[in-house]
Amino acid sequence: MSLTAALAYARHGVPVLPVHTPGPGGVCDCGRGARCDRSGKHPRLRHGLTEATTDPRQIRLWWTFWPHANVGLRTGVVMDVADVDSAEGWHELRHLLGGDVPPGPQVRTGGGGRHLWFRPTGYGNRVRLLPGLDWRGCGGYVLAPPSRHVSGGDYRWIRRPAVALPVSPAALVALIAGPPPPPVPPRPLRRPDRYAEAALEAETDRVARAVVGARNDTLNRAAFALGRLVGAGLLDESEVRWELTAAARHAGLGWAEIRGTLRSGLTAGRRQPFGHRPPHAA
């Protein structure tokens, strides 16, 4: 019963959101039906991820409307998740960690992959961190047991959460942190506004050219990066929204997805204003 599970996640502080469900034959129960290319994986809420909550009354209300909703969990709050979607991804992860995978919670996804839960790193989502491995952090969400996968399989616990989540291994965090950011002029910037304008142009260009499958993640990263500049007072938020929306529309993303991604990415970015040190892993 997905309501019981949703309430349990919320009691542990994990924000929950109702997600669409694949019906018979894997057809999504959203308005697009068989034409939906993210069957059973996208939020039912207009503002998507940003409406995720731990409020039991709200959760009960949602599940009254949609008793069979898949259970989405916002990442980056209580946990980050390594999303392994293939045998190759599992092999790559084990190889990276020298065979030493922390004995934390693991979910068998309905599609045959696995999710490994870790304490939040403070970083955002990363697509194709390794072949077959994505990372879900700030501004992301994952499906959780007992959700139904488009293939008909259910998400199940391999190992349930115990008292404390394991810390993300250093090798993994180094990969998530990525190569050092492009050289930034020594601070204080002589023309911080000019630097910010260049960043705005580069990020919108990246979003506009993003390929299917990477569009949402590219938009999320751009919103996060520019949100940091907004937080530092170097860019105007409405201008950033306007430019990123236009770029994302050009790339073919839908309005609702753009709105949700912009909101979460900008919010996360503003919390780490440019010029301040990023937070350390919790």
Query: x/- contact string, 100-139, with Zn ion (CB under 5 A)?
Result: ----------------------------------------
Which of the stretches 21-29, 63-71, 174-182, 190-198 binds Zn ion when contact is defined by CB under 5 A? 21-29
Closer to Zn ion by Cβ: residue 18 or 137:
18
Non-local CB neighbours of 142 within 8 Å, separated by 6+ positions: 72, 73, 75, 81, 83, 115, 136
Closer to Zn ion by Cβ: residue 40 or 227:
40
Closer to Zn ion by Cβ: residue 28 or 84:
28
Which of the stretches 30-38, 49-57, 117-125, 205-213 binds Zn ion when contact is defined by CB under 5 A? 30-38
Closer to Zn ion by Cβ: residue 97 or 256:
256
Closer to Zn ion by Cβ: residue 6 or 28:
28
CA distance 195 to 76: 29
Judged by CB under 5 A, how many residues of this single chain contact Zn ion?
Answer: 4
Residue in 28, 210, 223, 244 binding Zn ion, rule: CB under 5 A: 28
CA distance 88 to 111: 14
| E strands present in the chain | 16-19, 70-74, 80-84, 106-108, 114-118, 126-130, 133-136, 141-144, 156-159
Query: x/- contact string, 153-172, with Zn ion (CB under 5 A)?
Result: --------------------
- Residue 264 vs residues 78, 123, 260: alpha-carbon distances, Å: 16, 13, 6
Measured from the CB of residue 231, what is the shortest distance to Zn ion in angstroms? 33
Phi and psi at residue 116, in whole multiples of 5°? -110, 130
DSSP state of 162: -
30 forms part of the interface with Zn ion (CB under 5 A) = yes
Which of the stretches 24-32, 116-124, 164-172, 186-194 binds Zn ion when contact is defined by CB under 5 A? 24-32
- The answer to whether 118 and 79 have CB atoms below 8 angstroms apart is yes
Find the binding residues for Zn ion in span 1-20 (CB under 5 A): 20
Measured from the CB of residue 22, what is the shortest distance to Zn ion in angstroms? 8
Measured from the CB of residue 50, what is the shortest distance to Zn ion in angstroms? 19
CA distance 138 to 134: 13
- The position carrying tokens 């709105």 is 259
Closer to Zn ion by Cβ: residue 184 or 212:
212
CA distance 274 to 234: 9
DSSP state of 124: B
Measured from the CB of residue 49, what is the shortest distance to Zn ion in angstroms? 15
36 forms part of the interface with Zn ion (CB under 5 A) = yes
- The answer to whether 114 and 90 have CB atoms below 8 angstroms apart is yes
Measured from the CB of residue 278, what is the shortest distance to Zn ion in angstroms? 35
The order of strands in the sheet holding 70-74 is 16-19, 70-74, 141-144
Measured from the CB of residue 11, what is the shortest distance to Zn ion in angstroms? 29
Q: Which residues bind Zn ion (CB under 5 A)?
A: 20, 28, 30, 36
